[in-house]
Amino acid sequence: MRILVVDDDRDIVESISLFLSAEGYSVLKAFNGLEALEKLNENTVHLMILDIMMPQLDGIKTLMKLRQSRNIPVILLSAKSEDADKILGLTAGADDYVTKPFNPSELVARVRSQLRRYTSLGSIEKEKNYIVTGGLAIDTESKTVKLDGEKVRLTPIEYKILELLAKNKGRVLSADEIYRKVWNEESVVGDNTIAVHVRHIREKIEINPKEPRYLKVVWGIGYKLD
């Protein structure tokens, strides 16, 4: 697997490549957008880690150029932590967004996740009774969940909640609604069971539970799966 790391800060590029090399990936380095595009044309690249703020050609523009011809996973890297910035990056075609300063292990985990999903994508899609969201695949028949092709261990309640959310993908479900449908009862006041369960699910399926990729908390309203 070959990963292209692009950042104008050479030290950051160096450290990232060290981490990735340690994981067994071959790494290409580029220090601006134009160089990145050149490297992409010259080599076969499976994933790109791209900084947004760069001289000459910034990350977003490089990404948009890339997306005209290639479909490889791209993880954006930026000091901009605003929601608006994240949305912009994801809309431009990024698969993930990591804010600086990042935890190297987390970045490596995300790279791994993206690559796994990228390579195993085709096989999962064919299965009928699978609900697929990004790298998350829920088999409603065997009641199992796979994250980037790896099986995730969930309790029956957790699975039910996740399945319910997956079936209503993109829709916000209130705690009461989940309660009613999972437990078939009315919710109890002062009981934060669902919140705790969701938290547990997140810990199991998310690389960083505080910045969930799939299962999102809509504060004060409910939960949803994107």
Partner 1 sequence: MKRLFYSKVTKAIAWLLLLALTLAFVYELYTAVNEYISDSEYSVYDFKKDFESSSTVSGLLNTPLQLLVSAYRETDIGSVHIYQPTGEIIYMESTPAPTLTPSPKIVTPEPTASSQAQAVSRPQPTVAPISAPPTPSPTPAEAEAVDMNVYEYVHEYFSAIENSEGLEYYVRINDAVFTNCDAKSEKDLMDSRFYYLAERRSDGECSYESSGYRGSTRSLYSHFGSDHLYGSDSIVVCSAIKDEYAQQMKEIWQGQEAVVRRCYERLLVLLGGIVLLIIYLVAAAGKNSAGEIKRSAMDKLWTEIYLALMLGGSIGAVALCAVLIESSLGTYYGAIPQYISEPLIFVAAGLGMLITVSSLLMLVRKLRQGRFLKDSVCCIFIAFAWRIAKAVIFRLFRALRTVWRFFARTWKELITETRSIMAKKTGRWLLGGLSVFSFLLWLCGTFTPDAPIFLLFAIVIFAAAVYALIKRAKDMDEIRKGTKEIKGGKLSYKISTPYSADLKELADDINHIAKGLDESVAAKLKAEKLKTELITNVSHDLKTPLTSIISYTELLSKVEGLPEEAADYISIIAGKSDKLKRLTQDLFDISKVQSGSETIAFERLDAALLIEQTLAEYEKEIKNSGLDFVVKLEKDIYVNADGKKMSRAIGNLIGNILKYSLSGTRVFISLADKHGKASMEFKNIASYYMDFDTDEIVGRFVRGDESRSTDGSGLGLAIAKSYVEACKGVFELSIDGDLFKIVIGFDRV
- Footprint of partner 1 (CB under 8 A): 9, 11-12, 15-16, 18-19, 22, 79-81, 100-105, 174-175, 189-192, 194-196, 198-199, 210, 217-222
Could you tell me if 201 and 151 are in contact, meaning their C-beta atoms sit under 8 angstroms apart? no
- 104 vs 149, which CB is nearer to partner 1? 104
In the bound complex, what is the minimum distance in angstroms from residue 122's beta carbon to partner 1?
Answer: 34
Nearer to partner 1, 139 or 211 (CB): 211
Q: Are 59 and 51 spatial neighbours (Cβ–Cβ below 8 Å)?
A: yes
Smallest separation (angstroms) from partner 1 to the CB of 18: 6
* Least distance to partner 1, CB of residue 130, Å: 29
CB nearer partner 1, residue 51 or residue 131: 51
Q: How far is the CB of 124 from partner 1 (least distance, A)?
A: 30
Residue where the block lists tokens 């998310």: 206
Q: What does the alpha-carbon distance between residue 142 and residue 150 come to, in Å, rounded to a whole number?
A: 15
Q: How far is the CB of 191 from partner 1 (least distance, A)?
A: 8
Closest separation between CB of residue 143 and partner 1, Å? 24
- Toward partner 1, which CB reaches closer, 44 or 219? 219
Question: Between residues 139 and 177, which has the closer beta carbon with respect to partner 1?
Answer: 177
Query: Tokens 């290409």 identify what position?
Result: 28
- Between 144 and 193, name the residue whose CB sits nearer to partner 1: 193
